[in-house]
Structure 1
Amino acid sequence: MIRVIMNQFSRILIVLSPLPCFLSIPCWGHGGSVGTSAGGLGQLAIIVVAAITLFSLFLVFAHQKKGWSILITGGGGYIGSALIPKLLKNKNQVTVLDPFLNSGKALEKVEGYVSLKKVKGDLANIKTLERALDGCDAIIHLAHNTDMQDGIYHSNNNSQNNAKTFHDLVKIAKKAGVKRFINASSFEVYGNNIENEATEEHQPNPLTSFAKYKLLCENILQKERAPGFVTCTVRSGVTYGRAPYTRLDLIVNAMVYSTVENRHITINNKAQNYPIIHINDITDLYLIILNQADTQIDGKTFNAVGQNLTAIEIGNIVNDAVDHEIRYDIKSHDNASTVRMSSYKARKGLGFKTRYTLQNSVHKMVAEFRNKLNS
């Protein structure tokens, strides 16, 4: 911004620099003394230059793109730790609502931003939620976006309770004047044993309590959609890659970390398919959606996947990235889900292109995990 202003100011001075000299020509005063006439006109020239400069600066500020004031629920977790720095660098105001069970370590690198506000608390607390929503015009809902292995969703009661909390969030957000609600969902809503890559039109068939909860949230958000309240859902594959706060229980991260630390990979079902996406790609997609026109995203669902790989394919790619032998521990679980997913809709409709593959990022992950273990 400062550079833009200085460049604009310099251009104006260059264009107008001859003006005081021109105004001080004796004949301009119609017979009057050069001193009095030139002095008054010189002052006038300075005023003209200043006025034009101020007007130009006003135009610069007026044409700057206004950022969003965004509430990130669950922003103290894995995805939030990578997304929030990008939002702040793009001149957005960011409020994070999170219990910060990791002591806020996820956001340590952005603590200095005055445009960052942290609200410690529970999403189910209405007063806390209202305080966090104050002044926000957009939400990216990352809270309750846990992995399928987490026991918190292993009962239907928990799913129903969390769905009620989500519904309260949506209604309070609408009342508070939020204009855009982006909801993080999961590939798990598709179920398993899908022959082809699932598109957004594929009939959901959630099998786990977590997947059923996620589909409930999608349906709630769709019903609450209204003019002036734009809604969008992202069905993400399993995220991988290092971030300021990295989850080590997700399939790719777990394999890489176990390989580096223990020289050992556990594979529960080698034929199980995983749609995966790099942390930088999924966070880029949220930025793309946030800055789309309403008509491009309103009421729509987008899959987010970089690659579809089996567990054994992931293991082999990780194995190839290290310089020592790895021991495989292959188990079999008959109820393992098999899902392949397509991101064609996001590519065609939003121009979203993933930049990372496991093959071109795994070596960096190995090096980063080694540095972490040795530090």
Structure 2
Amino acid sequence: MPGSKFKNVLVIGGAGYVGSALVPSLLKKDYNVTVYDLYLYGDVFSNLKNKKNLTEIKADIRDKKKLFEASKNVDAIIHLACISNDPSYELNPALSKSINYDAFFNILEAAEKNDVKRFIYASTSSVYGVKKEKDITEKTVPEPLTDYSKYKLECEKVLLGREINGMERTILRSATVCGYAPRMRFDLTVNILTINALINKVIKIFGGKQLRPNINIQDVVRAYEIFLSAPRNKINREIFNVGYQNKTVEEIAYIVKNVIGGESITFEYVPTEDTRSYHINSDKIKKVLEFTPKYTIEGAIQSIVNAYNEGHINDGLNNPIYHNIKLMQKINLK
């Protein structure tokens, strides 16, 4: 039995990057997990078909009827689904809004009608925008720069502004996630620098001086598991930053080079319009929930190196399955 009263968990967007690491971990801890996802990136749980506590539903979150059915007998919802990252969002803003924001009301309605007890929402630290402050806490006023971040923040407001059958609600504002997962992404800072170094022996540094908070995907999994088991009085209607190492893009590039150990690896500096730069403070989750990150950027890089050397990555720089915007352009989702 899981160490939580919320045994039956619906993970919306569970076949994505974070979900592909989270779901197997929840299954090992004996949660009954239902994954609700379009599976655009393939059957990431093909090796888990014998798991009796795993249910998979291939469906769109804009389908209210299917959402309602999927939410029956569910104790907790972890909502990960979205058109993720700014370029993918901007490819089709109307489509992205329909998934990232409009469909959010469908999910809440399904949760309310099925008396779901706890709702955990995956937001992003990018809601803070560009900040001059040394430490960005949960009390810092968000100033999102893009529609992707703006609608993440709007969903937060909707979630915390309603009373929904006494449902417990909490929000995770994650730093940029890094490290290997079954549904891999190579459009995130640490990951893309690593795959460039492995394949081309050249690390493209877009800008370089922007400060970015990072979190190993294994720690993100741990955070969601803690949110499932934490007492109501500690997390209800609370927002938590979840980050660890705050580094500039240039500093991350040097870490990648050091971990791989390639003297032949060179740097290529590329101008960028991405001015996001911020240093998030994650003291609150440590104080309230006693959560301290255990895994590092270095460990994340090594996990990618290991997967690459073991043949688990197929054309990491060009294969659309690893790049959200490339896949969105390919499939033309409507």
Displacement of 1:110 in angstroms is: 2.0
Correspondences of 1:147-166 after superposition (within 5 Å): 147-152=85-90, 155=93, 158-159=96-97, 162-166=100-104
Is the contact between residue 160 and residue 213 of structure 1 (CA under 8 Å) also seen in structure 2?
no
Q: Distance in 2 between matches of 1:247 and 1:92?
A: 26
Q: Which has the higher helix share?
A: 1
Is the contact between residue 159 and residue 212 of structure 1 (CA under 8 Å) also seen in structure 2?
no
Which residue matches 1:288?
A: 226
Which residue matches 2:49?
A: 111
What is the identity, as a one-letter code, of the residue corresponding to 1:216?
A: E
Is the contact between residue 94 and residue 115 of structure 1 (CA under 8 Å) also seen in structure 2?
yes
Q: Distance in 1 between matches of 2:213 and 2:231?
A: 28
Q: Distance in 2 between matches of 1:153 and 1:350?
A: 38
Which stretches in structure 1 are left out of the alignment for 5+ residues? 2-62
Q: TM-score, normalised by structure 2?
A: 0.88
Displacement of 1:242 in angstroms is: 0.8
Q: 1:333 to 1:361 in 2, by over 3 A?
A: closer
Which residue matches 2:330?
A: none
Is the contact between residue 67 and residue 93 of structure 1 (CA under 8 Å) also seen in structure 2?
no
Q: Distance in 2 between matches of 1:322 and 1:202?
A: 37
Which of 74, 80, 94 matches 1:136? Answer: 74
Q: 1:152 to 1:137 in 2, by over 3 A?
A: farther
Give structure 1 regions of 4+ aligned residues with deviation exceeding 3 angstroms.
63-67, 151-158
Which residue matches 1:247?
A: 185
Which residue matches 1:51?
A: none
Which residue matches 1:232?
A: 170
Which residue matches 1:351?
A: 290
Which stretches in structure 2 are left out of the alignment for 5+ residues? 315-334
Which residue matches 2:327?
A: none
Displacement of 1:76 in angstroms is: 0.6
Which of 270, 280, 285 matches 1:341? Answer: 280
Q: Does 183-192 or 143-152 show the bigger shift?
A: 143-152
Is the contact between residue 33 and residue 53 of structure 2 (CA under 8 Å) also seen in structure 1?
yes
Q: 1:374 to 1:309 in 2, by over 3 A?
A: closer
Q: Distance in 2 between matches of 1:330 and 1:259?
A: 14
Q: Distance in 1 between matches of 2:294 and 2:232?
A: 25
Deviations 1:166-220 (A, max 9, x none): 0221122111110000000001100113321210000000110100010011001
The number of equivalent residue pairs is: 313
Is the contact between residue 72 and residue 114 of structure 2 (CA under 8 Å) also seen in structure 1?
yes
Q: Distance in 1 between matches of 2:313 and 2:41?
A: 21
Deviations 1:260-314 (A, max 9, x none): 1111111111101111100100010000011011111000000000110100000
Q: 1:364 to 1:160 in 2, by over 3 A?
A: closer
Q: Distance in 1 between matches of 2:38 and 2:266?
A: 38
Q: Distance in 1 between matches of 2:86 and 2:21?
A: 21
Q: Distance in 1 between matches of 2:39 and 2:61?
A: 12
Q: Distance in 2 between matches of 1:359 and 1:275?
A: 14
Larger radius of gyration: 1
Is the contact between residue 73 and residue 143 of structure 1 (CA under 8 Å) also seen in structure 2?
yes
Identity of aligned residues (%): 33
Q: 1:221 to 1:252 in 2, by over 3 A?
A: same
Displacement of 1:248 in angstroms is: 1.2
What is the identity, as a one-letter code, of the residue corresponding to 1:212?
A: K
Which of 292, 298, 301 matches 1:362? Answer: 301
Deviations 1:75-124 (A, max 9, x none): 011101110111111111111110111221x2123221111111111000
Question: Secondary structure of 1:149's partner?
Answer: helix
Question: Secondary structure of 2:311's partner?
Answer: helix
Greater length-normalized contact order (CA 8 Å, ≥ 6 residues apart): 2
Q: Is the aligned partner of 1:90 residue 2:64?
A: no
Displacement of 1:374 in angstroms is: 8.3
Question: Secondary structure of 2:251's partner?
Answer: helix
Is the contact between residue 62 and residue 99 of structure 2 (CA under 8 Å) also seen in structure 1?
no
Q: Is the aligned partner of 1:172 residue 2:96?
A: no
Correspondences of 1:175-254 after superposition (within 5 Å): 175-226=113-164, 228-254=166-192
Which residue matches 2:211?
A: 273
Q: Is the aligned partner of 1:310 residue 2:255?
A: no
Q: Does 261-270 or 201-210 show the bigger shift?
A: 261-270
What is the identity, as a one-letter code, of the residue corresponding to 2:51?
A: Y
Displacement of 1:65 in angstroms is: 6.2
Q: Does 203-212 or 85-94 show the bigger shift?
A: 85-94
Q: 1:161 to 1:132 in 2, by over 3 A?
A: closer
Which of 251, 270, 273 matches 1:331? Answer: 270
What is the identity, as a one-letter code, of the residue corresponding to 2:193?
A: M
Is the contact between residue 200 and residue 302 of structure 1 (CA under 8 Å) also seen in structure 2?
yes
Q: Does 176-185 or 315-324 show the bigger shift?
A: 315-324
Deviations 1:18-59 (A, max 9, x none): xxxxxxxxxxxxxxxxxxxxxxxxxxxxxxxxxxxxxxxxxx
